[in-house]
């Protein structure tokens, strides 16, 4: 894992709209930061700049010590987790987790090395008993863990979550929230997690960053936010 540092980050879209205005934020190695704010405040824009899907207009973005403003998304080594996890329905859990390893021709891993990496990740995520199943036969929480497993075998430096639970019913959302919290305690993953959900913000985050009209209003621990008048 690595830290992520945003130094005075700006985004102005082609139509002149200034969507992100001078955001300063340092996410420590292993820290879980929640990004909240009303619809249209710039959360997706910010995440897309960090992952490299959107150009940064001004400012510096660092992963660890490395400035990555002009680095291609695939070379930033970040894992993005979306609402629908993008698992391959026709592949087993094992093959879904192994997928990025097979895709990475540069690494030239042997089948034994791939097996060892998948075994390690699935032990960590308690998926060992499900490696031969297809995603359609898994619970939502298990599917989420497969998506995480894929990021873990890649040894991603950080995770970016874009409202991963927003389409789920309340019961499943509660279960998955608990799973993510547990995984965070176990793995200490550096994360930026975008959500609308108060409970997620208050229970998952080491710190909560509040964005409004493209500006960071406040960065505080959940406890500090809760106790403020
Ligand atoms: P959020 O994720 O917080 O809902 P977004 O980052 O999606 O906010 O959008 C922030 C603002 O930037 C919104 O006003 C949105 O309309 C605007 N915006 C997003 N994408 C573009 C674009 N490609 N061109 C111009 N404006 C955009
Ligand atoms: P989200 O808020 O979840 O990012 P949106 O529906 O706001 O989703 O945006 C969907 C797509 O439309 C994005 O690719 C975004 O860049 C683009 N978009 C959003 N607002 C604008 C805008 N005002 N002008 C041009 N493109 C926009």
Interface confidence (ipTM) of the complex: 0.71
Residue by residue, DSSP assigns 10-64 as EEE-TTS-EEEEEEEEEE-TT-EEEEE--TTSSHHHHHHHHHTSS--SEEEEEET
What tens digit of pLDDT does each residue of 109-142 get?
Answer: 999 999 999 999 898 888 999 999 999 999 877 8
Confidence tier at 187 by pLDDT (50, 70, 90): confident
Higher per-residue confidence, 161 vs 17: 17
Q: How far is the CA of 46 from the centre of ligand 2 (A)?
A: 13
Ligand lying nearest the CA atom of residue 212: 1
Q: Name, in order, each residue with C-beta under 8 angstroms of 25's C-beta and a sequence gap of 6 or more.
A: 5, 6, 33, 209, 216, 219
Q: How far is the CA of 22 from the centre of ligand 2 (A)?
A: 20
Q: Which atom of ligand 1 is nearest to the CA of 54?
A: 23
Q: What's this model's pTM, rounded to 2 decimal places?
A: 0.81
**Which of 13, 16, 48, 162 has most ligand 1 atoms within 8 Å of its beta carbon, as the pocket-test mutant?**
13
């Amino acid at each position: 894992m690595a830290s992520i540092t945003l130094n005075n980050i700006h985004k102005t879209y082609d139509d002149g709209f200034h969507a992100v205005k001078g955001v300063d934020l340092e996410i420590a190695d292993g820290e879980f930061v929640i990004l909240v704010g009303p619809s249209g405040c710039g959360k997706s824009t910010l995440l897309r700049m960090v992952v490299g899907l959107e150009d940064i207009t001004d400012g510096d973005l660092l992963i660890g010590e490395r400035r990555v403003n002009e680095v291609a998304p695939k070379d930033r080594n970040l894992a993005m987790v979306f609402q629908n996890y993008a698992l391959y329905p026709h592949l087993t859990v094992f093959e879904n987790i192994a997928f990025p390893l097979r895709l990475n021709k540069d690494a030239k891993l042997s089948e034994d090395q791939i097996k060892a990496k998948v075994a390690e990740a699935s032990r960590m995520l308690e998926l060992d008993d499900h490696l031969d199943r297809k995603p359609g036969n898994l619970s939502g929480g298990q599917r989420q863990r497969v998506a995480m497993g894929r990021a873990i075998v890649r040894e991603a430096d950080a995770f970016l979550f874009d409202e991963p639970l927003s389409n789920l019913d309340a019961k499943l959302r509660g279960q998955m929230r608990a799973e993510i919290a547990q995984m965070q305690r176990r793995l200490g993953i550096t994360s930026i997690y975008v959500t609308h959900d108060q409970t997620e913000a208050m229970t998952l985050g080491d710190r909560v960053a509040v964005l409004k009209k493209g500006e960071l209003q406040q960065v505080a621990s959940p406890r500090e936010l809760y106790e403020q008048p």
